[in-house]
Structure 1
Amino acid sequence: MYCFEKPLHQRPSVRSFYQTSQLYSSGEATKDKKIKCTLIPGDGVGPELVNSVKEVYSAIGVPVEFEELFLSEIYPSMSVPVETVIESIQRNGICLKGILSTPFSSYAGELQTLNMKVRRDLDLYANVVHIKSFPGIKTKHENLDFFVIREQTEGEYSALEHESVPGVIECMKIITEEKSRRIAKFAFDYATKHGRKKVTCVHKANIMKLGDGLFLRCVEETSQMYPQITFDSMIIDNTCMQLVSHPHKFDVMVMPNLYGNIIDNLASGLVGGAGIVPGASYSTDCVIYEPGARHTFGEAVGKNIANPTAMLLCSVKLLRHVNLHDYADIIQNALTKVIKEGKVRTRDIGGYASTTDFTLAIISNLN
């Protein structure tokens, strides 16, 4: 069973989280019974965005205790060992994470990056990004609401490259039946859980007939077990064109690793940019919440101009995951109100407010 499928009290890794949130809702909890969550600030503006979440949580006394660990591939001397981070996430079951920058040079002489190592060791096979229009943010297409689901433990991100002869590099793209069927079932289960009507498989099976052909076949065969959900498939080229011209065609999309990374960022631009789209990565027993568009916005570091909306939405999803729905509703309602009113906006969504101004506006609306 997948992590999101099970009732929270049946998930071994988060059983204590469920019990703690129940205590809080009944008024029996104490300060010593907070939910522990791993916190990875990330690179670029990540620490500034995480700070906004901390301030908002503090303003309403959210019963979450962050175990903060700095992990970075561009500042290795300041970073904790990746094994320490993995152990923390395994222990806590939940994590709020900023985006990690990946330099062109390899991590510790390896082809595998820190992001890839975390995903592999925790088996975070399913990445879900929710593309949803925000009232008050004017874009070409309105009322968008669809999910992008990618398999993120194999495909082009398999870290299998070598130079066969000087000047010739071979890069292996790994597609397995086991993991293709797993992500396919995840996608259809996710669609069922969220009341969605259609799943679209994105592929390039017309060219990569064996690899993408296997992925497409696994998704198509899995679809037969879900007769209530419409299934269709689309080549990645056409998908990109349809996204920018007719994005309302999509409901739930499932695809291999690299295509998902590209589509996540393209689709984020349809609803206002990287600053407002949340994402999550699931394994069978833990989940990491991080912005859906992988952009560290390094050029804005220290300028106090980054939009914390995506990180705040991630924190809202985290609270819902541990059954702290009242706190999640308070934060989401305040965030929606501030953006809809349009009086306080960061530069990426047409305003001049600083990160601090935006955060304070949300805090002032936490009713």
Structure 2
Amino acid sequence: YDKLDKIVIGVCGGDGIGPIITKESARVLEYMLENDVKAGKVEFKVIDGLTIENRIAHMQAIPDDVLEELKSCHVILKGPTTTPQAGSGMPNIESANVAMRKALDLFANVRPVKVPEKGIDWTFFRENTEGAYAVGSKGINVDDDLAFDFVVATSEGSERIAKMAYEYARKNHKDRVSIINKANVIKTTDGKFLNI
């Protein structure tokens, strides 16, 4: 971001309490970045349309016009969005979160966990666009008692999440990277990590 003349932060409220919490979060960011906003280095852009009502009206996980607005931002502050569940009476629309991960190639879910009194300083990296998320709910109901879903793993996806974790560890002076998988049982997909 140091190389950008201006950073555009999209503020996308979503559903439920989303508009309230994103508005307040944006206020905190605006306060913290006040000098950069005044200098024209940071711009906040409100993006409407990621509500369940609008998504149902367009029968899309992310309506095309909303996706184009999201793509025009460098950073997105997004509130929670509703994903219709089976039996809810709502149309079966893909999760906006999953669709956003795919459309914007947000492949890394990075979760730091720090508990200083226990000596815990971990950072988890989870691949966000492959695995069970890759095809969404495209499974097969064999009958009322049996269903199958699909898992996708590519060498590229496995390598880039491992590389990102390694680069983070090196940059932050961590002495170990562990890859957690079930390659002993799920040999074909989780096994990709063994060949990195």
TM-score range, shorter chain: 0.7 to 0.9
For 1:153, the equivalent position in structure 2 comes to 129
Residue 208 of structure 1 is aligned with which of 180, 186, 193? Answer: 186
- Runs of 5+ consecutive residues of structure 1 not aligned to the other structure: 1-6, 10-17, 21-34, 135-140, 222-367
Q: CA deviation at 1:166?
A: 6.2
Q: How does 1:172-191 map to 2 (within 5 A)?
A: 172-191=150-169
Tell me whether 1:73 sits opposite 2:45 in the alignment: no
2:69 matches 1:88: yes
Counterpart CA distance in 2 for 1:77 and 1:109 is: 9
Q: What secondary structure, in the 3-state scheme, does the structure 2 residue paired with 1:200 have? A: coil
TM-score when normalising by structure 2: 0.76
Query: Secondary structure in 1 aligned to 2:19?
Result: helix
On the 8 A contact 1:38/1:89 being kept in 2, the answer is yes
Distance 1:201 1:175 in 2: 15
Q: Does residue 75 of structure 2 align to residue 99 of structure 1?
A: no
> In the superposition, relative to structure 1, how do residues 48 and 151 fare at CA in structure 2: closer, same or farther (>3 Å)?
same
Please tell me whether the aligned partners of residues 132 and 150 of structure 2 are also in contact (alpha carbons under 8 angstroms).
yes
Q: Select the structure that is richer in helix.
A: 1
**Contact 1:125–1:151 (CA<8 Å) still a contact in 2?**
yes
1:43 aligns with 2:12: no
How far apart, CA to CA, are the structure 2 residues paired with 1:201 and 1:74? 40
Change (3 A) 1:213 1:102: same
Cα deviation code 1:41-85 (max 9, x no counterpart): 233433232222233344452513322223133774699953223
Counterpart-to-counterpart distance in 2, 1:130 and 1:44: 26
Instruction: Give the whole-Å Cα distance in 2 for the aligned partners of 1:132 and 1:47.
Output: 29
Cα displacement (A) at 1:124: 1.1
Kept in 2, the 8 Å contact 1:86–1:122? The answer is no
Asked if structure 2 preserves the Cα contact closer than 8 Å seen for 1:129 and 1:148, the reply is yes
Q: Which of residues 91, 116, 123 in structure 1 aligns to 2:105? A: 123
Secondary structure of the 1:65 match is: strand
Deviation per CA, 1:291-324, whole angstroms, max 9, x where unpaired? xxxxxxxxxxxxxxxxxxxxxxxxxxxxxxxxxx
- Helix, strand or coil for the counterpart of 1:189? helix
2:5 equivalent in structure 1: 19
SS in 2 for 1:191: helix
State the distance in 2 between where 1:108 and 1:203 align. 34
Q: Is the 8 A contact 2:84 2:92 kept in 1?
A: no
Judge conservation of contact 2:85–2:92 (CA < 8 Å) in 1.
no
User: How far did residue 153 of structure 1 move?
Assistant: 0.7
Q: Structure 2: 5+ residue runs without aligned partners?
A: none
Q: Distance in 1 between matches of 2:168 and 2:20?
A: 32
Deviation for aligned residue 1:170: 1.7
- Matched ranges for 1:306-321 at <5 A: none
Taking only aligned residues, the RMSD between alpha carbons, in angstroms, comes to 3.0
Q: How does 1:1-367 map to 2 (within 5 A)?
A: 8-9=2-3, 18-20=4-6, 35-59=7-31, 61-62=34-35, 63=37, 64-70=42-48, 71-73=50-52, 76=55, 81-105=62-86, 108-110=91-93, 112-133=94-115, 142-157=118-133, 158-159=135-136, 160-164=138-142, 167-215=145-193, 217-218=194-195, 221=196
Q: 1:38 to 1:212 in 2, by over 3 A?
A: same
2:51·2:81 contact (CA, 8 Å) conserved in 1? yes
Q: For the Cα contact (< 8 Å) 1:38–1:69, is it kept in 2? A: yes
Distance in 2, matches of 1:41 and 1:77, equals 16
Matched-pair contact (CA < 8 Å) for 2:183–2:191 = yes
In 2, Cα distance between equivalents of 1:176 and 1:164: 27
Q: How many pairs are equivalent?
A: 183
1:204–1:48 Cα change, 3 Å? same
